[in-house]
Amino acid sequence: MAAMQGRRQLLPAAAALLACLLLLPSAARGRNITAILDGYKEYKLYNKYLSETKVCDEINSRQSTSMTILVLSKDAMTTLAKDAGGSLAAIKNALRLHSVLDYYDRRKVKKYGDESAATLYQATGDAVSTTGNVKVVDQDDKNYGFSAATPGARICTVTKEVETHPFKFAILEVTAPIEFDGLFDTPSTANLTRLLERAGCKVFAALVASSGVLKTYEGAMDTGLTLFAPNDDAFQARDAPDVKNMSTADLVKLLEYHALPAYNPKTSLKAVKPGAPLRTLATTKAGKDHITVVAKGDDVSLDTGKSKSRVADTVVDSVPFCLLTVDSLLVPPELYVGAPEAAPAPSPAEAPQSSATQAADAPSLAADHADHADHKTNKKTSSAVASRPIGAFAAAAAVCSVALASLL
Ligand SMILES: *[C@@H]1O[C@H](CO)[C@@H](O)[C@H](O)[C@H]1NC(C)=O
Ligand SMILES: *[C@@H]1O[C@H](CO)[C@@H](O)[C@H](O)[C@H]1NC(C)=O
Ligand SMILES: *[C@@H]1O[C@H](CO)[C@@H](O)[C@H](O)[C@H]1NC(C)=O
């Protein structure tokens, strides 16, 4: 009896230890919809679209929100893709509508009856009023389903409760895609110059057109392009290079440095590992002129290694293209005029630095040239960096960046 009791206490402890060892990396990051759906062959196509549209990053970024993901079998997903005219941007709208911002399962629906629930589609501001909601419908017998919020919309019955983690997270398979008139509407991206001008980036738009880089951008818009457009004020900043007096080659480099050859909306930028280099259109084979991301809560900044620029607004998000505005110019390190003459050469010793150290470096460089006001800002930034809690996540991130650095 005593032995059994001893074993009973030991087993859970051992199991907990094992789970801890196995799950440590994922526990630090939380639930990962892509990894979960990888375990279900029948949702492979759905999962593929979830990744291509980056809706997976939106779902993963809401770790503390109760969510229900309405998944589709291969046939239903094929129907959805066809209805969307094969457009990834249109499919993204639908997948957002299928990401419900509340928890549902049969027990809850049978207990509380019909409800209206918000979705990611609505949360991202693409829809006005409640068009982006879905209706949760209590049906006959044991059945329940979901439909669009429009009157008379067809009800898509839940055919399988794939995973239910009560009141946190559920994955439910529905018979058919939920659709409504206008769901597949996407913004026009036909005239990039006009988009830039309307977003308050007239100077940038003019440079892009006159330098010929417009063609480069347009050429990448169908395959994957994230464009960071500085607003007009950014060109007036003290440390901004004089674009009027730049060689064409340097100007082209500067403009190409403002774009990534991949689709990285703001939520996805937030999910980029700290310190991981992102390729820009200016990145050379030798790996020069990449950019890193610094994310803090909802704030996302881009770090050139010499200066940082905050990502402001999403102007257009239309897979595989997105246009974001930034508060200051992204200047390739070798063109950075604000850099001090005798700056310590960026040596290989810089590589193992954590992103936190890099973040602290940039403002201190600026401070060398700064007036009193800038000094204050610098202090604030440094103390914010210093007071960051060293939690499990920070530790994991540090391990990650060291591992990453050793790969480089
Ligand atoms: C989520 O899982 C996928 C597939 O297993 C993996 O490629 C991806 O890096 C993971 N994302 C995060 C944020 O851990
Ligand atoms: C794009 O928009 C700009 C500014 O509104 C305009 O000058 C230009 O003619 C437009 N280009 C095309 C091809 O329509
Ligand atoms: C433009 O650059 C040249 C040399 O690169 C320099 O001599 C000249 O002063 C600059 N002009 C302005 C207006 O900055």
192-335: what fold?
A: FAS1 domain (2.30.180)
Cα(310)–Cα(230) distance, integer angstroms: 10
Tell me what pLDDT residue 201 has.
98
What backbone phi and psi angles, to 5 degrees, belong to 319?
A: -45, 135
* CA 106 to each of CA 67, 138, 337, 338: distance values in angstroms, whole numbers, following the listed order: 15, 9, 62, 61
Could you tell me which residue, 222 or 7, shows the higher pLDDT? 222
Q: How many CA atoms lie within 13 A of 318 on its CB side?
A: 15
Ligand closest to CA 246: 3
Per residue, what are the HEC states of 16-50? HHHHHHHHHHHHHHCCCHHHHHCCCHHHHHHHHHH
CATH number attached to the domain at 31-174: 2.30.180.10
Q: Is the minimum distance from the CB of 39 to ligand 1 under 6 angstroms?
A: no
- Give the tokens for residue 143: 């059945």
Q: Is the minimum distance from the CB of 245 to ligand 3 under 6 angstroms?
A: yes
Residues in the chain: 408
Residue 402 scores a pLDDT above 60? no
Tell me what pLDDT residue 220 has.
96
Cα(34)–Cα(60) distance, integer angstroms: 9
Q: Which distant-in-sequence residues (6+ apart) come within 8 Å of 334 by Cβ?
A: none
Range of lowest pLDDT (47-51, 98-102, 396-400): 396-400
pLDDT in tens, 261-287: 999 999 999 999 988 999 999 998 877
pLDDT in tens, 192-225: 999 999 999 999 999 999 999 999 999 999 999 9
Could you check whether 31-174 and 192-335 share the same CATH topology?
yes
Could you tell me which residue, 198 or 384, shows the higher pLDDT? 198
Residue 352 scores a pLDDT above 60? no
Name the pLDDT band for 158 (thresholds 50, 70, 90): very high
Unique residue bearing structure tokens 């704030």: 299
Tell me what pLDDT residue 131 has.
76
Q: Which atom of ligand 3 is nearest to the CA of 242?
A: 14
Q: Which atom of ligand 3 is nearest to the CA of 245?
A: 1
Per residue, what are the HEC states of 187-234? CCCCCHHHHHHHCCCHHHHHHHHHHCHHHHHHHHCCCCEEEEEECHHH
Residue 190 scores a pLDDT above 80? yes
pLDDT in tens, 86-112: 999 999 999 999 999 999 999 999 999
- Ligand 1 mutation target, pool 32, 40, 293, most atoms within 8 A of CB: 32
Residue 129 scores a pLDDT above 90? no
**Left (φ > 0), alpha (ψ -120 to 50) or beta: where does 275 sit?**
left
Closest CA to 336 of 228, 244, 230, 254: 254
Q: How far is the CA of 245 from the centre of ligand 3 (A)?
A: 6
Q: Is the minimum distance from the CB of 215 to ligand 2 under 6 angstroms?
A: no
Whole-number CA gyration radius for the chain: 25
Q: Is the minimum distance from the CB of 63 to ligand 1 under 6 angstroms?
A: no
**230 beta partners:** 326
- Strand, coil or helix: 55: helix
Mean pLDDT score of the chain, rounded to an integer? 82
pLDDT in tens, 130-148: 678 999 999 999 999 999 9
Q: Is the minimum distance from the CB of 38 to ligand 1 under 6 angstroms?
A: yes
Domain ranges for the chain: 31-174, 192-335
- pTM for this entry: 0.76
**319 beta partners:** none
Residue 13 scores a pLDDT above 80? no
Q: Is the minimum distance from the CB of 198 to ligand 2 under 6 angstroms?
A: no
Name the pLDDT band for 304 (thresholds 50, 70, 90): very high
Name the pLDDT band for 122 (thresholds 50, 70, 90): confident
In order, the DSSP letters of 71-99 are E--HHHHHHHHHHTTT-HHHHHHHHHHTE
Q: Is the minimum distance from the CB of 35 to ligand 1 under 6 angstroms?
A: yes
Q: What is the mean pLDDT of residues 389-401?
A: 45
Percent of all residues in the chain with a pLDDT value above 70, rounded to a whole number: 74
